[in-house]
Structure 1
């Protein structure tokens, strides 16, 4: 029982700890002048954001409070009378299969809801536009959104992927922590050399930066892992990374 509770508690709180540690690291390295050549936006462009960083922190904490509540309910549903500690953990192949299923479910859920929030003028104005007040994304603003959007898109989407894959709480710890790191990285505003997310995922900080710009609101809805739905349904906007005259990089859309 103690082991099971440990897995459950880690599954609820570790992704939150990971979020603030990883985004905090980006906040620190983002102050280094030596990294200016890897910025997707010049320092001064953060003035385009119409919401303060203090407000962003409060908004993220609200979403994470909902996240804990849903996680508690989720792990209550999947617990099995204290026998989890005695059960043999699934094989690595089974875990890999569960992770792939959970990624597919989460990507599918988020793509269609995210896209609909842009199509619906009402939903965009009253809900999704809050996330887009960060025209120039930064790491700890990754989860900043309307509480209802955070609950439906991220928290419930994560719960659905967890249940659909059949993973146990221990595997869930790794999945949700990884998904958290990936989401933070997609909003970091940096294109650092050697970043594994840029190497293995087409959906990355530059790809998502396109979506946050005024010309990209009808493209690149996919998140957080793959770009398959954008490519299948014609909302994929390819881009090129070019050096700015004033320094840094710029993700520019490629015209057909």
Structure 2
């Protein structure tokens, strides 16, 4: 039995748990001390290069999450009505694990091609995707700071497709979407912390995505949020090296010019 069983429906948890997890995890990073020796950019760089205020970032994220919540509720409502004749049965852990892997691949595929297209189209980049790149120096709370249309297309629709085609139940979706949110926040946290399991088990991590936010890497490292499969297959992978500065901190330095 899951701890919320009998108190909150799986559909409600699938809608609101990722939002709560986002603010808890991103807020944890926000409340950490400066940790200059682990930063990938100095605080001076963050102040000079980022062209949007923290308050605007928070408002933008909340707006996107509002859209996500509405779509999620509609999606769960439709799928639950389709199964009114039978009580949903939670599959085995092995099946759930496989479904999550399938959902990860679907989400990676969807986000790679949409993300890449938004960079290749001058119109879409100028009017939509450039909003996310106002954060040249990423930080955790800004992980989902996007134009509302991009948030709807990239994250909300991508999540819905991953849920539907993987065949997972609403309960499995709770864990999948919460994990995806934590991974996305971590990729934007701007810190290379020792012992971070995401940095150990995922090549697509904080440094990998930091390259994409740099001028030299703008046309590379589109993959998100899990694996760099499509970047490697389609020639948009940019290798990098982590350089430790004597005064503290790290820099993800591209190896291509």
Q: Calculate the TM-score normalised by the size of structure 1.
A: 0.94
Deviation (angstroms), 1:89: 1.5
Which residue of structure 2 aligns with residue 210 of structure 1? 211
Q: How does 1:1-256 map onto structure 2 within 5 Å?
A: 3=6, 6-29=9-32, 31-32=33-34, 35-47=35-47, 48-79=49-80, 80-81=83-84, 83-84=86-87, 87-255=88-256
Q: Which stretches in structure 2 are left out of the alignment for 5+ residues? A: none
For 1:110 and 1:140, locate their aligned partners in 2 and report how far apart those are by CA, in whole Å.
20
Question: Given that residues 228 and 237 in structure 2 are in contact (C-alpha distance below 8 angstroms), is that contact kept between their aligned partners in structure 1?
Answer: yes
Question: Given that residues 4 and 82 in structure 1 are in contact (C-alpha distance below 8 angstroms), is that contact kept between their aligned partners in structure 2?
Answer: no
What is the number of residues matched between the two proteins? Answer: 250
For 1:132 and 1:189, locate their aligned partners in 2 and report how far apart those are by CA, in whole Å.
14
Q: Calculate the TM-score normalised by the size of structure 2.
A: 0.94
For 1:164 and 1:105, locate their aligned partners in 2 and report how far apart those are by CA, in whole Å.
8
Deviation (angstroms), 1:82: 7.8
Q: Which stretches in structure 1 are left out of the alignment for 5+ residues? A: none
For 1:152 and 1:98, locate their aligned partners in 2 and report how far apart those are by CA, in whole Å.
22
Question: Given that residues 212 and 218 in structure 2 are in contact (C-alpha distance below 8 angstroms), is that contact kept between their aligned partners in structure 1?
Answer: yes
Which aligned segments of 4 or more residues in structure 1 are displaced greater than 4 angstroms?
2-5
Q: Deviations over 1:199-245 (max 9, x none)?
A: 11000000000000111111000000000000000000011101124
- Does the residue aligned with 1:142 lie in a helix, a strand or coil? helix
For 1:147 and 1:199, locate their aligned partners in 2 and report how far apart those are by CA, in whole Å.
32
Q: Deviations over 1:186-206 (max 9, x none)?
A: 000001011010011000000
For 1:174 and 1:145, locate their aligned partners in 2 and report how far apart those are by CA, in whole Å.
23
